[in-house]
Amino acid sequence: MLSKTLAGLALGAATAEAFAPTPMGMFGSRAGIEKRAGIAAQPLVAAPVASRRATVSAVQGLKAAETKTGLPASVKPGVVTGQALVDLLQYAKDKKFAMPGVNIVGTNSINACMEAAAKYGGPIMVTFSKGGGQFIAGKTLANDKDQASIAGTIAGARHVREVAKLYGVPVVLHTDHCQKAWLPWIDGLMTANEEHFKQHGEPLFSSHMLDLSEEPDEENIEICAKYFKRMMPMKIILEMEIGITGGVEDGVDNSGVSKEKLYSTPEDVFNVHRGLAPIGEMFTIAAAFGNVHGVYKPGNVKLQPDLLDSFQKHLEKKVGYGKPFFFVFHGGSGSEKEDIDKAVSYGVVK
Ligand SMILES: [Zn+2]
């Protein structure tokens, strides 16, 4: 079944965009990325969505995908971190495909992700929510300091690390929305990352999302920058959210949020670049373009993927190279295929 490639998720021409070298040297040059990306190591294939909440609905891509492609040589079976993950995300943007980020709640759903990735090819993002981590530890445990969420998320990550290689697929270990009140959860995971890094030269997790989108933008970016600085020595990728994803997820109800928060502006997104790019090159942005969590179709909210294009073009003018942002698409489930195609073509990689 290896003919169904994730590149099909690009659902359009897979021509690489013209890129200039990125301004930050943290993760190596563009030429280096292309060199590494040049070898067709494993087939790159979309995994079916193993949970009700995939970040990007990959199902249409599975049907449409027919061509074979390779992954960067640095991307190997097992957990992908640091430079290899940067290579993978750059490759995804160049080839115009996005990886499904699947929220899991236990070892069985983790295994389902990896089994699907093994069956249809990889890579896959295994994503832990704070609630999912707590569920893994056991719901009867006290969690007043997020101790159960921390322990369960770490336990899940260790499970992935033990078995991912056996499944023979590259896996990105990621955590999902973390709002301000939940930062102790991320603090605990960061300590685990630092311990793991000391022992093994790489962090336990590949990437973390911070979602301070409910706070004023300035504070949002400030807190992200603080954590990004701590992540940088380990080359952990930061995902942040600007504007708000509507709907309900992980017990957070954004269904009543004001409509303008559901659409970011080019200036909002540029401010993220301004705050984070001096720290490091590799961060991803969940910019709001009318996306809503949940599988239902939002009645009065219209998805506007063209906004992502306008954000890219706004920054292009300032930095002088094409498609500088890495975007992620929350609430992809239930979206129209055409809208997903467009979003991916504008730099959505997850
Ligand atoms: Zn989300």
Neighbours of ion ligand 1 (CB under 5 A): 330
Tell me whether strands 248-249 and 252-253 are parallel, antiparallel or unpaired.
antiparallel
Distance between CA atoms of 276 and 344, rounded to whole angstroms?
23
Q: What is the mean pLDDT of the chain?
A: 82
Q: Is 306 a catalytic residue?
A: no
> 68-86, pLDDT tens digit by residue?
348 999 999 999 999 999 9
The topology under which CATH files domain 4-345 is: TIM Barrel (3.20.20)
Per residue in 287-330, pLDDT (tens digit) is: 999 888 876 665 666 889 999 999 999 999 999 999 999 999 99
CA of 323 to the centre of ligand 1 (A): 23
Q: CB within 8 A of 7, min separation 6: which ones?
A: 14, 44, 65, 67, 69, 95, 96, 97
Q: Are 288 and 329 in contact (CB under 8 A)?
A: no
Q: What is the dihedral of CA 64, 1, 331, 203, to 10 degrees?
A: -140
Higher pLDDT, 214 or 39: 214
Where b means 16+ CB within 10 Å and e means fewer, 139-165 reads eeeebeebbbbbbbbbebbebbbeebe
Q: What is the mean pLDDT of residues 133-138?
A: 98
100/55 Cα distance (integer angstroms): 6
Catalytic-role residue among 87, 94, 146, 176? 176
Whether the per-residue pLDDT at 11 is higher than 80: the answer is no
Q: How far apart are CA 221 and CA 246, in angstroms?
A: 20
| CA 198–ligand 1 middle distance (angstroms) | 31
Using alpha carbons, select from 42, 45, 33, 46 the residue that is nearest to residue 94.
Answer: 33
Element containing residue 316 per DSSP (H, E): helix 306-319
The CA-atom distances, in angstroms, between 268 and each of 66, 216, 310, 317, 345 are 37, 11, 12, 16, 21
Nearest to 224 by CA among 185, 263, 171, 277: 277
CA of 242 to the centre of ligand 1 (A): 12
Cα 35 to ligand 1 centre (Å): 33
Q: How far is the CA of 161 from the centre of ligand 1 (A)?
A: 24
Q: How far apart are the first and last CA of the chain?
A: 22
